[in-house]
C-alpha cells in the first residue's frame, strides 16, 4: 500500500465551483488536490451561456431576498477578477461581451416584464437611443436597454484556472480507479486513486464534492443521502452561419423569453447559443420541433436575415442543484457539510465565488506550518484536457431541422 499523502482539501470536479475553490484555497495555503473524471471546466460550466448575471432572473420572479442581493454583487467581483485587479486573476479569460442587451416587444406581457426587471435590478439597465440598437432588434423591439452583465467564454475561464493549477489537477477514473475508506465516525479517512500500476493514497482532512451532477453518485459512494440534489433539465439550441455578435435577453412577463449569447467556432463561423424560456419548454420537444419553435420565437422578437439558411443543432443538459421544495431554482449557492465532506452546488456560474467563500468560511483558518505538498509524486500522471464548448463537440448539425 502506498504511503498516505496528507492533504488539507481534496476536491472532486473541475467545473466553475471546483476551480474557483481550488484557486482560493491554494492562495490561502491549503494543501489541495483536485480530481476530475472527464474534462477540465466541463459539465454545466462549459455548456453554459457564460452570462455574469446580476440578478435579472431573480428579479423577474419577484425575489428581492438577501440572496438576490448577494447575486447582485457578483458581477462586480467577476469584473475585478477579469480585469486582473482581484484574485483569482482571470485576465486571460475571454470576455465575449461587456454588456447584454435587454429588450421587450410591444406585447403587454413583454412590457410588464420590463417594468418588473427595471424595478428590481440593483444596477438599472440603461435605455438605449434607437440609433444605438442592434440592427437585428430594430424592427421587432419596442425598447432596448443595456444591462451591465458581462458574458465570458466558459471554456477560456476553465482553461485560465486550470492552467494556473495543472500541477495539482489529476484525471481519474472515478468508477474503477477511486476508492474511499470511511472511518467509524462515517468520515472519509483515505481516498485511494489507482492509475495503471501506479497509485496514490490521499489522506484528506476535508473532501469537497464539486462535481455538478456527479455529486449524486459521489455522495452515495461515501454513504451519504443523494436525495439532496435536484436536476432541472434544459434543451438548448445552437445556430451557426451568417449571424451578428449579440448577447441579450428578450423579456416576457416573468421570463426571459429568449436568451442569446454568441461566439465563434473553431472553423471561424458565428454561433448563437439560444436559451431562456426556449430551453425550458424545449425539454419536452424533439430537436426538429424545438428548432421550428426557436425559429418562430426568433422571428417574433427580432429580425434575422436568411434564417432558413442557418444550420441548427440542439443539446440537452441538466442543471444540478441543491434540492428545493417544488423543484424551483434555488436562490443562492448551496454548501452541505456532512462530517468531513462538503457538497457544493453554486446554482449559477456567477455564484462560484460565493460557493467558494461559503466553503472557506466553514473550513476556518488555513493551517499554519504544514509542509508544502510534493507534487512531483504524480508529475507523469495524465492531466484532463480542457472541455470543448457544445458547438465544437460532436453534435449533429443540419439545415433541415
Ligand atoms: C445550458 C446552461 C446555461 C447556463 N447559463 C448560465 C449563465 O449564463 N450564467 C450563470 O451564472 N450560470 C449559468 N448556468 C449555470 C452554471 O453553468 C452552473 O451553475 C455551474 O456551471 C455549475 O458548476 P459546477 O462546478 O457546480 O458543476 P459543473 O460545471 O457541472 O462541473 C462539474 C465537474 O465535475 C466533473 N465530475 C463529474 N463527476 C465527477 C466525479 N465523480 N469525480 C470527479 N469529477 C467529476 C465533471 O466532469 C465537471 O468537470 C447555466 C447552466 C446550463 C446547464
- Using one digit for the tens of pLDDT, what is the confidence trace for 279-325? 999 999 999 999 999 999 999 999 998 999 999 999 999 999 999 99
Nearest CA to ligand 1 atom 21: 45
CA of 212 to the centre of ligand 1 (A): 5
Please indicate whether residue 111 or residue 84 has the higher confidence score (pLDDT). 84
Which pLDDT belongs to residue 57? 65
Which pLDDT belongs to residue 242? 96
State the angle between helix axes of 352-363 and 66-82 in degrees (0 to 180), rounded to the nearest 10.
100
Q: Measure the CA–CA gap between 307 and 270, rounded to whole angstroms.
A: 13
% of the chain at pLDDT higher than 90? 81
For ligand 1, is residue 155 a contact (CB within 6 Å)?
no
CA of 210 to the centre of ligand 1 (A): 9
For ligand 1, is residue 282 a contact (CB within 6 Å)?
no
For ligand 1, is residue 20 a contact (CB within 6 Å)?
no
CA of 126 to the centre of ligand 1 (A): 31
Q: Measure the CA–CA gap between 366 and 40, rounded to whole angstroms.
A: 26
Using pLDDT thresholds of 50, 70 and 90, give the confidence band for residue 67: low
134-155 pLDDT per residue, tens: 999 999 999 999 999 999 999 9
For ligand 1, is residue 35 a contact (CB within 6 Å)?
yes
Which pLDDT belongs to residue 303? 96
Using pLDDT thresholds of 50, 70 and 90, give the confidence band for residue 2: confident
Which pLDDT belongs to residue 309? 95
CA of 46 to the centre of ligand 1 (A): 7
Which pLDDT belongs to residue 368? 82
Average pLDDT, the chain: 93
Q: Using an 8 Å Cβ cutoff, are 322 and 230 in contact? A: yes
Which pLDDT belongs to residue 149? 93
Ligand 1 atom nearest the C-alpha of 344 is: 26
32-54 pLDDT per residue, tens: 999 999 999 999 999 999 999 98
Q: Which three cell numbers stand for residue 376?
A: 512531483
Q: Is the pLDDT of residue 348 over 70?
A: yes
Please indicate whether residue 56 or residue 191 has the higher confidence score (pLDDT). 191
Tell me which of 10, 13, 38, 389 to substitute to probe ligand 1's pocket, judged by most ligand atoms within 8 Å of the beta carbon. 13
Backbone phi, psi, residue 250, to 5° = -100, 125
Using pLDDT thresholds of 50, 70 and 90, give the confidence band for residue 254: confident
Using pLDDT thresholds of 50, 70 and 90, give the confidence band for residue 232: very high
Q: Measure the CA–CA gap between 10 and 327, rounded to whole angstroms.
A: 30
Which pLDDT belongs to residue 122? 66
Which pLDDT belongs to residue 65? 59
383-393 pLDDT per residue, tens: 999 999 999 99
For ligand 1, is residue 15 a contact (CB within 6 Å)?
yes
CA of 318 to the centre of ligand 1 (A): 9
363-378 pLDDT per residue, tens: 988 778 788 899 998 9
158-186 pLDDT per residue, tens: 999 999 999 999 999 999 999 999 999 99
Which pLDDT belongs to residue 61? 61
pTM, two decimals, is: 0.96
For ligand 1, is residue 348 a contact (CB within 6 Å)?
yes
For ligand 1, is residue 247 a contact (CB within 6 Å)?
no
Q: Is the pLDDT of residue 219 over 80?
A: yes
Q: Measure the CA–CA gap between 55 and 64, rounded to whole angstroms.
A: 9
Name the residue with cell 482532512. Answer: 205
Q: Measure the CA–CA gap between 349 and 155, rounded to whole angstroms.
A: 12
**Three-state SS for 280?**
helix
Q: Which three cell numbers stand for residue 355?
A: 460557493
For ligand 1, is residue 151 a contact (CB within 6 Å)?
no
CA of 16 to the centre of ligand 1 (A): 6
Which pLDDT belongs to residue 63? 54
Amino acid at each position: 500500500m502506498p504511503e498516505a499523502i496528507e492533504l488539507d482539501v481534496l476536491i472532486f470536479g473541475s467545473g466553475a465551483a471546483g476551480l474557483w475553490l481550488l484557486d482560493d484555497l491554494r492562495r490561502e495555503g491549503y494543501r489541495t488536490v483536485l480530481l476530475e473524471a472527464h474534462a477540465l471546466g466541463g459539465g454545466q460550466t462549459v455548456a453554459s451561456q457564460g452570462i455574469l448575471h446580476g440578478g435579472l432572473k431573480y428579479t423577474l420572479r419577484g425575489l428581492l431576498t438577501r440572496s438576490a442581493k448577494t447575486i447582485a454583487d457578483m458581477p462586480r467581483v467577476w469584473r475585478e477578477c477579469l480585469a486582473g485587479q482581484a484574485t483569482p486573476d482571470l485576465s486571460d479569460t475571454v470576455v465575449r461581451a461587456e454588456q447584454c442587451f435587454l429588450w421587450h416587444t410591444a406585447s403587454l406581457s413583454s412590457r410588464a416584464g420590463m417594468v418588473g426587471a427595471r424595478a428590481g435590478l440593483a444596477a438599472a439597465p440603461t435605455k438605449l437611443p434607437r440609433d444605438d440598437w442592434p440592427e437585428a432588434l430594430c424592427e421587432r423591439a419596442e425598447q432596448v436597454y443595456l444591462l451591465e452583465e458581462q458574458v465570458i467564454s466558459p471554456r477560456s475561464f476553465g482553461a485560465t484556472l486550470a492552467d494556473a493549477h495543472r500541477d495539482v489537477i489529476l484525471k481519474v477514473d472515478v468508477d474503477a480507479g477511486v476508492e474511499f475508506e470511511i472511518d467509524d465516525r462515517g468520515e472519509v479517512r483515505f481516498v485511494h486513486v489507482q492509475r495503471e500500476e501506479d497509485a496514490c493514497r490521499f489522506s484528506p482532512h476535508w473532501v469537497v464534492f464539486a462535481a455538478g451532477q456527479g455529486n449524486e453518485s459521489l455522495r452515495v459512494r461515501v454513504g451519504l443521502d443523494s436525495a439532496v440534489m435536484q436536476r432541472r433539465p434544459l434543451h438548448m439550441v445552437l445556430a451557426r452561419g451568417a449571424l451578428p455578435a449579440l448577447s441579450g435577453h428578450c423579456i416576457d412577463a416573468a421570463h426571459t423569453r429568449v436568451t442569446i449569447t454568441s461566439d465563434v467556432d473553431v472553423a471561424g463561423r458565428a454561433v448563437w447559443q439560444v436559451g431562456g424560456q426556449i430551453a425550458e419548454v424545449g425539454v419536452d420537444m424533439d430537436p426538429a420541433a424545438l428548432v421550428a419553435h426557436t425559429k418562430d420565437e426568433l422571428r417574433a422578437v427580432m429580425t434575422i436575415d436568411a434564417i432558413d439558411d442557418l444550420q441548427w443543432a440542439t443539446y440537452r443538459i441538466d442543471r444540478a442543484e441543491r434540492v428545493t421544495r417544488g423543484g424551483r431554482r434555488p436562490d443562492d449557492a448551496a454548501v452541505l457539510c456532512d462530517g468531513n465532506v462538503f457538497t457544493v452546488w453554486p446554482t449559477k456560474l456567477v455564484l462560484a465565488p460565493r460557493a467558494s467563500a461559503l466553503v472557506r468560511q466553514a473550513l476556518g483558518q488555513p493551517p499554519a506550518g504544514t509542509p508544502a505538498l510534493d507534487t512531483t509524486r504524480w508529475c507523469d500522471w495524465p492531466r484532463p484536457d480542457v472541455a470543448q464548448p457544445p458547438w465544437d463537440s460532436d453534435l449533429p448539425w443540419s439545415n433541415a431541422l
